[in-house]
Structures are given as structure tokens and as C-alpha cells.
Amino acid sequence: MKKRTILLKICSLILVLGYFSGLFTAASAYAQEDILTITQNAGYQTNEFYKPKASIVIDAQTGQVLWEDNPDLKWNPASIAKLMSVYLVFEAMEKGQFTLDTTVKATDNDQAISQIYELSNNSIVSGVNYPVRDLLYATLVQSSNVATVMLANLVTANDEAKFIHMMNDKAKELGMTNSTFYNCSGAETGSFNGYYKPEGIDQNADNVTTARDLAILSYHLLKNYPDTVTYTSPTQITIMENTPYAEVLENHNYSLPGLAYGYEGADGLKTGSSPTGGFNYAATAKRENTRLIEIVLGVGDWEDQEGELQRHAFGNAIFDQAFATYEYKQLLTKGNNTINKEEIILDQDFYGLIQKNTEPTFTLSADKVTIDNGLAQVSPTIKAPSATFKYEKKLKALQNSVLKKTGKKKNASSTFFVNGLLIILGLLFAALSKLFKKGPNQSKKFNLLSTLSVLFILAGIILSIYTVVVGPFI
């Protein structure tokens, strides 16, 4: 008994040590995946001072998380907030409120805002009509605050407060659970010198969101309005062409190909910086069939403008890691497939995210097939990719039932006749066995007849079930 107790204690100790050893190993492995180390190993010159406060990378097709570090840290996104305003502009156009060619007549207030030196802007002249298309370029390329205000006022017929409420309502609808907006452009309301003042909204409050929430917003923006990249990808563009108000806009996303930190496949989304938020970056890039989204928040300090460049080093590095590890591809073809030793028939081709140089594994549940890639969804409102299927045997049964209806009933009738005959023979042997049971020295005959009775009845029942599910066997 003592030996058994000692052995149990030893086993328990080994399990405990193994558990904590595993935790230590996992923690060490995680530490090695530090974003600063990844960026330095990618060849970028940076240091701890510039390390982002939060970051995340997701797949744009599936919404699955490939990298995260403090993704739920609440932060001031600065001008990345313009993405929510743009979402509402695209939504309004989808509803038919206006088009890209609709013009917005600039007011005295708009002109005054455009002349506030402290704000990022483009030139606006009172009384001039600006097309929505050009205002979108100004918002997303130049990060113009006045262009964003003009678009917001177009959506709500100059109800500035209503637009802020729309931003917050849309955030809830999209699953952005840690976001609150107080202005439409990322610059606090108080910095507009009274020319933009949503009634009932705190003028001194910064917008608040998280890396995860911005990834969710970017996911829905690209999914629902893929033309967004048309307005985020130009490194330079001229608006109001062939008019006295033509203006060249320069993009601050230095990861766009051809700029200082040019990254292959990059075509958006938005940068943002502020005294309280530091330097932030929302990006997307596509290589072959794989499109990724990343958010990098809180790089460096507003007092050191080097952070404006450093955010792109971190963004490029974690993009590199994700693109090198994962790919979005076709995993199954429409039609017949064998999954987990089950013969199934897919209604359509099935695409998903998978680690490179690995074989996918799948789960069959009800009528859905999903991939087991170990990746979490960025939000519970974004479902993992799946495809509907039918089991091949069920389809065969359906085909057999169709055959019956088209005149081929003899096979089924013959089969059920044989099944019924087997059951009748079984019952006959059962009756005979009772007779032999009553006679002297008939135990052997009784046992034989009883056995045959059971076998014939079971055979009849099983074959009847087979005929219903699969089809006639003769």
C-alpha cells in the first residue's frame, strides 16, 4: 500500500513539473516571437522606444487571426478613424443617396477648416463644387480632415452629431465592442476652432478603439466595399483636374510600392498620428490569392517624428511573417471528396487558410465541412469558412427513389419480397422450435431452430433497412 502511495505521488509530481515546464516553454517561445525581435531580424533598424503598443494581423478572406499582441488595448487611432467615416459614405452610396459624381458645395466653414495649420488638410475654396470621388481621395490619400467633414455632412444633410451616432451604431453592428467615436476624422472636435462642433458630443474627447476592432472594421470595409483600395493605393494623385482648383495629393502610407518602405502587394489602408496616440497604421496587402490586414498602434512618441517611418518597419515585418507562413487557397473541389474516410459531395469549391507545406484536416458537422487550422476568428460575428455537402450514400438513396418513380419498381418489390420471406421463415422456425422444446431429448433441435429463427428474422430486418437507405440489392 505504501509503495502504491509513493508511486502515485511521484506520478503526480512528474505531471505538475511537466505542466509548468510546458508553460515555461510556451512563454519562452512566445517571447521569441516578440514584434521587436521579428522586425530587427527582418533587417530593419529599430529599438524598444518604437515598439508598438498593440498589433494584429488577420486574413482578409476568413477573418482569422495570424498574429496578435495586446489586440484589445484601448487606444486613440487618430486618422485611422476616417475608415469608419468612409464606410458610412460607401454605405450611403449603396443605398442610392448620392454617387461618386455628386458634388458638394464648399461652405465658408469648410474653407476655414482647410486653413487650420495644425490639421492635416487639402485646399478647399468656399462656393466651389467638389465631387465625392475627389473628396474620397482627399480623405484617404491626403488624410484631409475638411474633406472628411464635408463627406460626413453630405451623408446626414449637415447633422454633425447624427453622423457621430451613426459611427457608434455601425461599430456595434460590426462587432467592434471596444470602440467609441467622438468625431468623424480622428482630430478631436476642439481642434477645429469651432467650425466643426457636433451638438452634445464631448469636444475634448479622443476616439477610442483597439487593434482588434480596427481589424474588424477593415475586414468589413474590404469585404463589402472592395473598391476602397482604389482610393487608398495611389502614392500620388491629382484631384479637381482641369480646373483652377487642381491639387496634387501625397500618400503618407510609405509601405506602398515605390515609397520609402515599399512592400510588395500593399494597396492600403490608412495611417494616423496624434499627440496622445503616437503613430498608427492600418494596412492591407495581397499576394496571389492571399490578402492580409494588419493594425499597428502606438509606435514611438509624437515628439519624435521618426515613428512615422518606424510604424512601416513593424508592419512590413509582421506581414512578412504571415505571408511566409500562411496561404489562402482552394482546399477541396466541387463534387466527390473523401473526408475523414467519409464519401461526401460538395456543393461548391472550398477555399480556406492553411499553413504552407502542410496537409489540411477537416471537420464534418451536420451538412457543413470546415478546416481545422487552429486559428481563432477575430470576432465571433465573423464565422469561419465552411461549405455545404451531402453524404454520398444519402444521394444514392435519393437517386434510387427517383428510379422507382420512373418505372423501375420491380427491383424494389423483389427485394422487399425476399426480405419478407426471410422474416416469415424466421417466424416459422421460431414456432417449430417451441414444438421441439416440449418433446423429450429435443434440446439440440430446439437450439438449432431457435438460432435459425433469430438469424432469418435479423437478416430480413437488416436487408429491409438497407433497401430503404441505399436501395434495392437485386
Catalytic positions: 79, 82, 143
| Beta bridge pairs of residue 59 | 292
As given in the structure block, the three cell numbers for residue 383 are: 464565422
Backbone dihedral angles phi then psi of residue 411, each to the nearest 5 degrees: -60, -45
Residue 270, marked binder: yes
Q: What are phi and psi of 76, to 5 degrees?
A: -85, 115
**Would you state the cell numbers that stand for residue 18, as one nine-digit string?**
511537466
Contact 129, 105 (CB under 8 A): yes
Q: Is residue 205 classed exposed, middle or buried when 0-12, 13-18 and 19+ CB atoms within 10 A define those classes? A: middle
Closest CA to 149 of 200, 198, 202: 198
CB 313 within 8 A of CB 40: no
Name the CA radius of gyration of the chain, rounded.
34
CA 181 – CA 171 distance, rounded (Å)? 9
- Judge whether 148 and 192 are in contact, CB under 8 Å: no
User: Contact, 322 vs 67, CB < 8 A?
Assistant: yes
Question: For residue 272, with 0-12 CB atoms within 10 Å meaning exposed, 13-18 middle and 19 or more buried, which class applies?
Answer: buried
- In sequence order, the 6+-apart residues with CB closer than 8 A to the CB of 125 are 106, 111, 245
- State the first-to-last Cα distance of the chain, in angstroms, to the nearest integer: 65
Contact assessment for residue 364 and residue 387, using Cβ atoms and an 8 Å cutoff: no
Q: What angle do CA 123, 198, 205 make, to 5 degrees?
A: 95
| Helix-then-strand count for the chain, H and E | 13, 16
- Classify the C-alpha dihedral 115-116-121-127 as positive or negative: negative
Listed residue (128, 87, 124) closest to 232, CA to CA? 87
Burial group, residue 25, by CB count within 10 angstroms (0-12, 13-18, 19+): exposed
- CB pairs under 8 A, 24+ apart, for 245-251? 245/123, 245/125, 245/128, 247/122, 247/123, 249/122, 249/137, 249/138, 249/141, 249/142, 250/141, 250/142, 251/141, 251/142
- Residue ranges for the binding site? 270
- Residue ranges for the binding site for substrate? 270
